[in-house]
């Protein structure tokens, strides 16, 4: 089999080579490309004669699959797969596996970090100190005693609950199906919105969850509440978030994801939103998570070759 990594996955070549040694020893050809390039024709040129392709969150649409007739298996080095035309994969009999779970700790820790950054005004405090200012007018808050509402109780949502519990937070949760999770009281969506001091989103992006938080939801939330989104940008209506912040319907927000991948355009609307902390989609990006991800990607390929695929999406 010809196995092609169309991007380096944030790992050095020595680490990549060490992980795929067994595959090469079995006679498979493994090719790495040293740069990330989202141009579709470039991707096609790299992947068109491959049996197995490894890619992270670069969009792969119908034309890509039409141009890669040899493709049999796609190992996605990412948790979400909404950037891939799964219907086309089903049509062509292409197995798709994701790297579920690789970034659970990374995203959960960033989520808590963003809560603290908002409450303690860390970014603004740094700017004040560098301008020789003092703490006058800088009054923060504490996580302890706050009600954290977790939307989506998968692995990341549950881990956020564990960490928030350690800070002494009261935990509410909303999930499509009931789950028995210690310390988290599951409630309906409106109750969670109304009672949460901190609302944190951990849903996958699906047709049902697109725009899950919008104008109606912001109107229910407390004006003292903050929103954290480290899941997928379109789950929160971007225009509605901008207006909620401008109108003071909520006290603040921190987001790591958007309707488009960074870099964001110079005229991006949210740049003008008050009390908003923005990150360039770094939730999954830690050395530890990348190492775990590579291990899952290679294991998915190995298991598929053995006829027992894991983390199968299609």
Catalytic residues: 232, 261, 281
Residue 254 pairs with which residues in a beta bridge?
228, 277
b/e 201-216 (16+ beta carbons within 10 angstroms → b)? bbbebeeebbebbbee
Report yes or no: 264 and 237 within 8 Å, Cβ to Cβ. Answer: no
Cβ pair 90, 62 in contact under 8 A: no
Backbone φ and ψ for 247, nearest 5 degrees, come out as: -85, -10
Q: How far is CA 182 from CA 54, 105, 172, 173, 193, in A?
A: 37, 19, 11, 11, 20
- Provide the 8-state DSSP code for 92: H
Contact between 33 and 46 (Cβ < 8 Å): yes
**DSSP of 15-80:** HHHHHHHHHHHTT-EEEE-SS----HHHHHHHHTT-SEEEESS--B-HHHHHT-TT--EEEESSS-
d(CA 79, CA 169): 28
Q: If you compute the radius of gyration of the chain from its CA atoms, what whole number of angstroms results?
A: 21
Q: Give CA–CA dist 259/233, Å, rounded.
A: 5
Our measurement of the distance from residue 312's CA atom to the centroid of its chain's CA atoms, rounded to an integer in Å, reads 19
């Amino acid at each position: 089999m010809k196995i092609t990594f169309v991007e380096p996955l944030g790992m050095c070549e020595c680490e990549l080579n060490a992980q795929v040694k067994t595959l090469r020893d079995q006679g498979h050809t493994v090719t790495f490309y040293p740069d990330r390039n989202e141009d579709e024709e470039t991707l096609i040129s790299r992947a068109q004669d491959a049996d197995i392709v490894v890619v992270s969150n670069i969009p792969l649409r119908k034309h890509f699959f039409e141009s890669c007739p040899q493709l049999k298996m796609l190992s996605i080095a990412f948790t979400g797969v909404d950037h891939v035309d799964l219907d086309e994969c089903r049509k062509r009999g292409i197995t798709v596996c994701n790297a579920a779970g690789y970034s659970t700790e990374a995203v959960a820790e960033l989520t808590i970090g963003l809560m603290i950054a908002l409450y303690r005004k860390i970014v603004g405090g740094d700017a004040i100190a560098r301008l020789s200012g003092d703490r006058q007018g800088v009054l923060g808050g504490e996580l302890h005693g706050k009600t954290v509402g977790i939307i989506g109780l998968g692995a990341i949502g549950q881990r956020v609950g564990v960490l928030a519990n350690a800070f002494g937070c009261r935990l509410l949760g909303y999930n499509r199906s009931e789950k028995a999770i210690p310390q988290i009281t599951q409630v309906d969506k409106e109750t969670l919105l109304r009672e949460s001091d901190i609302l944190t989103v951990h849903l996958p992006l699906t047709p049902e969850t697109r725009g899950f938080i919008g104008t109606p939801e912001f109107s229910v939330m407390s004006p003292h509440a903050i929103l954290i989104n480290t899941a997928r940008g379109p789950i929160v209506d971007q225009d509605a978030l901008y207006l909620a912040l401008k109108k003071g319907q909520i006290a603040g927000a921190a987001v790591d994801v958007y309707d488009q991948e960074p870099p964001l355009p110079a005229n991006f609307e949210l740049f003008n939103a008050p009390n908003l902390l923005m990150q360039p989609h770094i939730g999954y990006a830690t050395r530890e998570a990348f190492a775990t991800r590579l291990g899952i990607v290679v294991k998915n390929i190995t298991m598929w070759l053995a006829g027992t695929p894991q983390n199968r999406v299609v």
